[in-house]
Amino acid sequence: MIDDLIQKPAEWLRGEGPMSDIVISSRIRLARNVAGFPFLSRATDEQRCELTSILRSNIDGAATGGQWTYLDIEKLDELDRQILVERHLVSRNHAESKGSRGASVSKNERVSVMVNEEDHLRIQVLRSGLQLREIWEEINHIDDKLEDRIDFAFHPRYGYLTACPTNVGTGIRVSVMLHLPGLKLTGEIEKVFRAAKDMRLAVRGFFGEGTEATGDFFQISNQTTLGRTEEEIIDGFSRQVIPRIIEYENIERRKLLEGRVLALDDKIWRSYGVLKHCRTISSDETMLHLSHLRMGVNMGRIKILDLATVNELFLLTQPAHLQKFFGSRLNGEQRSEARADCIRRRLTES
């Protein structure tokens, strides 16, 4: 399945859906644990294997929207595990941990169910653009089907019991990835950080927890789940948090077009020139320049590229995708050279 994945764009980078010029993707994740088993931090190897067996069979029975494929993460090589991380189908922690674990992935890559991550079960639904309500309907249906088959650890007062106290209650984590180059270029990005802090939200980088923001991409997610319903959390994101940030970004983009258009075009076209002619380039520098190109396409400042090409390069230039594309293991210097070659060829074709 891994080889099939890299032949197509990832679901979260389709560039479709509401407000997709700023909202890259929306994701909802539910954390669940099986009653009668200890949390993974205290589980034996035998218990982990037993959980894998129980959960795999029940996940297959609850599959919706077409066939899901189960991947034995423990048996995948390092490169294939990293492919899944880069496509946002499993967490970095899940890819790098030890012991029996797996993931069921839907054909369209919208659904990923991780087995033995931090919790026994992590259900994830991911879509392009701002589609939290649609995602909630889908993930709630999957959760109900699984709960018909599995007895989840649940307390009548505290709700779903999870390995991390911040997930206790609903076990929900809502996350929206935003592209905010306007706020970054005008030095107003601190507005987002202050607003997030006031609303007890987490701001993370391109690959979520433990990563720094690169290329003007930021993931905004809730930090606590106890004491609020799923609908309240989703409603807060859909009607307050994300619209406010989008409004901030659009204001700064208009300022750039009205008063700093020369500086804006210079930033975009310099990035295009670097990418079109580079001979070696790092992953972080690539992300930064692709971010400027994406802004240029969405703001109508560069018309020789389309969004699909820019989005494709976001994935193709990631370390694991790059090595798969070239068919060999590459060290850091070789990846920088191969990345530059890949970008030049793709921009020449477009």
How far, in Å, CA of 27 to CA of 13, rounded?
13
pLDDT in tens, 161-172: 999 998 899 999
Q: Of 256, 258, 310, whose CA–CA distance to 288 is shortest?
A: 310
Which residues of the chain are under the pLDDT cut of 70? Answer: 64-66, 206-214
pLDDT confidence of residue 99: 95
What is the assigned CATH class of domain 2-252? alpha beta
Q: What is the pLDDT of residue 67?
A: 77
Report pLDDT for 241: 86
Greatest extent of the chain over all pairs of C-alpha atoms, in Å: 64
Task: Give pairs for 148-152: CB < 8 Å, separation 24+.
Answer: 148/62, 149/58, 149/61, 149/62, 150/32, 150/34, 150/54, 150/55, 150/58, 150/121, 151/34, 151/35, 151/36, 152/32, 152/33, 152/34, 152/35
* pLDDT value of position 350: 75
Would you state the pLDDT for residue 190? Answer: 85
User: What is this structure's pTM?
Assistant: 0.91
Per-residue confidence (pLDDT) for residue 21, from 0 to 100: 93
CA distances from 183 to 137, 174, 261 (A): 32, 22, 15
* pLDDT reported for residue 89: 95
pLDDT of residue 206: 64
Tell me what pLDDT residue 297 has: 96
Reported as a single tens digit per residue, the pLDDT across 64-107 is 666 789 999 999 999 999 999 999 999 999 999 999 999 999 98
- What is the C-alpha to C-alpha distance for residues 250 and 237, in angstroms, rounded to an integer? 18
pLDDT for the residue 249: 95
Pairing state of beta strands 217-222 and 159-160? unpaired
Where are the domains positioned within the chain? 2-252, 261-349
